[in-house]
Structure 1
Amino acid sequence: MQTKRIVITGGASGLGYALAQMAAQKGWQVAILDRDTERGEAVLPSLQRLQPATLFFPCDVTRISDLENVARVLEQRWQGVDVLVNNAGVAQVGKLTDTSISDWQWIIDINLLGVVRGCKAFIPLMQQQGGGHIVNVASMAGLLDVPNMTSYNATKAAVVSLSETLENELAADNIKVTAVCPSFFKTNLGKGMRSSIEGMDVKLEKLMSQSKLNATDIAKAIMRALERQQSYTLPHRHGRFAWYMKRFLPRAWYRRVLHKQVKKHDES
């Protein structure tokens, strides 16, 4: 894969940082964006040892002005951006009846509108240069319907739909779009998670620690998706299996299997 210019939101930790490391190792020009300025400044030297030109920008994806400012600076420094990875996200767990409207607004503002803002800030630059690739990090939660995760599922499903729609809208501009849908893996998703279910932080940590894939594995899947220009990447085997069941089994059968699995996790 040829040298590219990549921008990653939520790039100071977790999947974003793993992807930044991988891109820097390949000699790509890398810019990580994160609202955690202290963390961003702390990890920047490790990335610059791999690629001296790596940049860090303090950026809050709930502010379109932050993203537009980064786009302007990179247009001047890099003369364009080849890959945008909308990775920043948060988690909220609970039944719809137990989730406040303010929590809904919070997660929508970051998980969905954060992706929208990233796209609005960088698509004009990609159109101007004649092409590019957008990677939107969704989740298997956006394809499945696990109970007690109403708001999270809804925002990730919206990111999948947004990605599919953009793929159609931007085809004439030679801009590719990929939706990434991992299952649980070890990351910092639990940090700042909002939950109305007691003990959910412990359960989430257990689910993530049991995953056979880590952030580096998901980053590798994203790099393959970029190279192959895939519309989707579902890195977890069990996640793909669950999605196939939802697509091809009668709804009642699928729901019985789903609830059996949820009960198994609740009892473990």
Structure 2
Amino acid sequence: MSPENRSGRRVLVTGGASGLGAALVAAFAARGDRVIATDLAEHAPGNLPERTDYLRLDVTSDDDWAAALTHVEDTWGGLDVLVNNAGVAAGGRIEFLTMDDWRGITEINLFGVVRGCRTFTPLFKRQGSGYIVNTASVAGLIHPPSMSSYNAVKAAVVALSETLQHELAPYGVTTSVVCPSFFRTNLASSLSGSDPVVEASAIKLINGSKLTADDIAGQVLKGMDRRKPVILTDRTGRLALRTKRLLRPLYDRTMRRAAEGVRRRVERNGPATKNPTENHA
């Protein structure tokens, strides 16, 4: 049995100080895994479970990733599971998203994942084992209106993960991509963009969900146990994807109604607070 199949695995989780990352750290630790939680803060949060260490890691920094690899090799001599979970939320109509908005979300949500995969793949190949888990979103599989930047980077994470599923399998390395829909988390506080009308709607959906980060983390571990290439964590996501694949006219009508809803909210609330022609550098 390969190392990543046993309890007592060596696990690194990015974005592990809060939200889904913290829930994943707790879920791995509860199984008896040894975990390194990483995040931007200089010091460890006060709620880390037993068998958990903390390491500052900015996923946009090549130096921080190199330091994480060195730390893992010096501390454990290897790694069994890499969870690329760190990310931010964003939304907005295409004319309101600035190029800085696009660069910011791409650097964190996509290139942060790419850096993690590039950093640890050579180690996994040398070991002949390993498990990469990339957190995307159901927005990487279905593409609602007014979320172009978020949809695009999450779809890229899905594509990257599928590529690595095939590319790394000959080396004994497994890859899964996690695609949750809305759940209650502090991700709403990280919403960034230039379209306050759309941001308000996203916050309402996140805060109104009945699912918690712990619920999603439990489903992630179950999906990993089954080596599922795509881990859909909730009924809403499964139903939406099934509708897109099998009932495309219904899917298209639903998305057009959502876009019409945005248009009506904009009309009720008046013009946006920012000029969409500003800051397009």
In 2, Cα distance between the equivalents of 1:192 and 1:47? 22
Give the CA deviation at 1:35.
1.0
| Corresponding letter in the other structure for 1:7 | L
**Alpha carbons of 1:91 and 1:214: their partners in 2 closer, same or farther (altered >3 Å)?**
same
Alignment of 1:51-66 (within 5 A): 51=51, 54-66=52-64
CA distance in 1, matches of 2:176, 2:151: 18
Q: Does 1:126 align with 2:124?
A: yes
In 1, Cα distance between equivalents of 2:160 and 2:72? 25
Residue among 250, 254, 261 paired with 1:257: 254
1:26 aligned partner: 31
**1:17 aligns with one of 13, 22, 37:** 22
TM-score (norm 1): 0.91
SS in 2 for 1:170: helix
Q: CA deviation at 1:96?
A: 1.8
- Can you give the 5+ residue segments of structure 2 that lack an aligned partner in the other structure? 1-5, 266-281
TM-score by length of 2: 0.87
- What is the distance in 2 between the residues matched to 1:92 and 1:42? 25
Q: Percent identity?
A: 42
User: How many residues are matched?
Assistant: 259
Deviation at 1:238, TM superposition (A): 1.6
**Alignment pair present for 1:42 and 2:48:** no
After superposition, the Cα gap between the structure-2 partners of 1:162 and 1:201, relative to the gap in structure 1 and judged at 3 Å, is same
Aligned residue for 2:188, secondary structure, equals coil
Q: Is the 8 A contact 2:7 2:32 kept in 1?
A: no
Q: Distance in 2 between matches of 1:187 and 1:174?
A: 34
Aligned partners of 2:152 and 2:41: how far apart in 1?
26
Please list every run of 5 or more consecutive structure 1 residues that lacks an aligned counterpart in the other structure. Answer: none
Shift of 1:110: 0.5
Three-state SS of the structure 2 residue aligned to 1:182 is coil
Equivalent residue letter for 2:149:
S
Structure 1, 10-19 or 61-70: larger mean CA deviation: 61-70
Structure number with greater Rg is: 2
Question: Runs in 1 of length 4+ with deviation above 4 angstroms?
Answer: 261-267
**Following the alignment from structure 1 to structure 2, what is the Cα–Cα distance between the partners of residues 231 and 84?**
15
Cα distance in 2 for residues equivalent to 1:262 and 1:208: 18
Q: Tell me what 2:12 maps to.
A: 7
- State whether residues 138 and 179 of structure 1, in contact with CA within 8 Å, keep that contact through their aligned partners in structure 2: yes
In the alignment, the residues of structure 1 paired with residue 197 and residue 41 of structure 2 have an alpha-carbon distance, to the nearest angstrom, of 26
Taking the aligned partners of 2:171 and 2:35, their CA distance within structure 1 comes to: 23
Is residue 208 of structure 1 aligned with residue 206 of structure 2? yes
